[in-house]
């Protein structure tokens, strides 16, 4: 398993080793000892599974009460993933990380609290699983406009299918003016 920190401090790309033969394949998707050796020490409390049709875009979502980190993997299809640093005192505030991740690649992401995440399905339907380090709290979650020009995410879909909630999200600048944004600091 290769664990590599991205250009955004704390966000890691995890590449598990796939072993296989004529019977099929096997992959260790999560190894806590290896994560801990890389400085990642999560305590997972919840696992989510999301399915999306082609051209669906979800995001940019985060939870500030209780701040949560995510271990994300694609289990079906090809998914364009995005994470945006929303930590006020971060040198990479407002910067983003993107990657197209396929179920076949088995690549996983570790996205710490203080990042807004989103994904879309440019090439068909897909399924994503993610482990949370805090319980989902509807009253402590928020989102940032998926196409905020100040962030400039290179979404690969021209006219995505987006929820009403995501269409009405505020901008990154709106979020940073809210007192809740103080929950995320390096």
107-136 pLDDT, tens digit per residue, is 999 999 999 999 999 999 999 999 999 999
| Alpha-carbon gap, residue 39 to 36, rounded angstroms | 5
Strand pairing report for 108-111 and 78-85: unpaired
* Nearest residue to 50 via CA among 72, 18, 17, 20: 72
**Prior bond of 60 cis (ω within 30°):** yes
Q: How far is CA 171 from the centre of its chain?
A: 18
Selected catalytic residue, list 71, 96, 130, 132:
130
Closest CA to 95 of 30, 150, 167: 150
**Alpha-carbon Rg for the chain in angstroms:** 16
Residue 112 and residue 11 in contact, taking contact as beta carbons nearer than 8 Å: yes
Q: pTM for this one?
A: 0.94
Contact call for residues 130 and 71 (beta carbons, < 8 A): yes
Residues of the chain with pLDDT under 70: none
As a CATH number, domain 42-183 is 2.60.120.10
> What residue spans of the chain are helical by DSSP H?
32-37, 164-167, 172-177
Which residue reads 């019977």 in tokens? 23
Catalytic hit among 61, 96, 132, 183 = 61
Tell which residue, 96, 71, 101, has the closest CA to residue 85. Answer: 96
Q: Is residue 96 annotated as a catalytic residue, yes or no?
A: no
Residue 66: the pLDDT is: 94
Q: Has 132 been annotated as catalytic?
A: no
Q: Say what the pLDDT of residue 63 is.
A: 97
pLDDT for res 69? 97
What count of residues does the chain have?
A: 186
Is residue 59 exposed (0-12), middle (13-18) or buried (19+ Cβ within 10 Å)?
Answer: buried
User: What is the pLDDT, as a whole number, of residue 180?
Assistant: 94
């Amino acid at each position: 398993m290769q664990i590599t920190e991205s250009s955004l401090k704390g966000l890691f790309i995890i590449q598990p080793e796939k072993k296989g033969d004529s019977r099929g394949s096997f992959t260790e998707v999560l190894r806590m000892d290896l994560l801990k050796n890389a400085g990642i020490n999560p305590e997972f409390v919840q696992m989510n599974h999301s399915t999306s049709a082609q051209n669906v875009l979800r995001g940019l979502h985060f939870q500030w009460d209780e701040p949560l980190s995510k271990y994300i993997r694609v289990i079906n299809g090809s998914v364009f993933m995005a994470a945006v640093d929303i930590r006020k005192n971060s040198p990479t505030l407002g910067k983003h990380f993107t990657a197209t991740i396929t179920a076949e690649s088995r690549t996983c992401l570790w996205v710490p609290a203080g990042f807004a995440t989103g994904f879309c399905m440019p090439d068909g339907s897909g399924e994503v699983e993610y482990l949370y380090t805090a319980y989902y709290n509807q009253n402590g979650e928020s989102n940032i406009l998926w196409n905020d020009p100040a962030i400039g995410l290179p979404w690969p879909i021209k006219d995505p299918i987006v929820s009403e909630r995501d269409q009405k999200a505020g901008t990154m600048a709106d979020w940073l003016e809210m007192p809740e944004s103080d929950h995320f600091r390096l």
